Amino acid sequence: MKQYRLKKEAVRFFNEKHSTTIQTFDYWDRLGVDDKALEIVEDAFISYGHKTSDISSSLSGWSADDGSKFHFTLHFPSVKFMEHDKFSKGKPVREMMDKIQKHVNYFFAEFVNEAQDA
């Protein structure tokens, strides 16, 4: 089943909580969102938070000892059981983590630099 999110240029017209929402077309349709404001999410996608129940997610947290933590979930809806078993064993996951880590470091460095310039 296809998943949708708000297009980047449409986010500012909606409640901020919907900026990271990824849902079915029916969900967005019930909210009255025009299909022109939506884009199809790729087969593999990242969602903000770690679902803890049907109506709750753990999004982030902060502590004096550990600083900030943000929770994301990687979704691979089309992966079959045997593919999952092969993918989740070591090397592929490690390679994916290495690539994600580079992007996280780059993004955070930009964020810090912009904060210092402000």
Domain ranges of the chain: 79-118
pTM (2 d.p.): 0.66
pLDDT higher at 87 or 5: 5
| Average pLDDT value over all residues in the chain | 90
How far apart are alpha carbons 35 and 31 in whole angstroms?
A: 11
Average pLDDT over residues 83-112: 90
Average pLDDT over residues 53-70: 91
Model confidence at 63, in pLDDT bands (50, 70, 90)? very high
- pLDDT at position 90 over 80: no
pLDDT score at 79: 78
**pLDDT more than 90, % of the chain:** 57
Average pLDDT over residues 19-46: 92
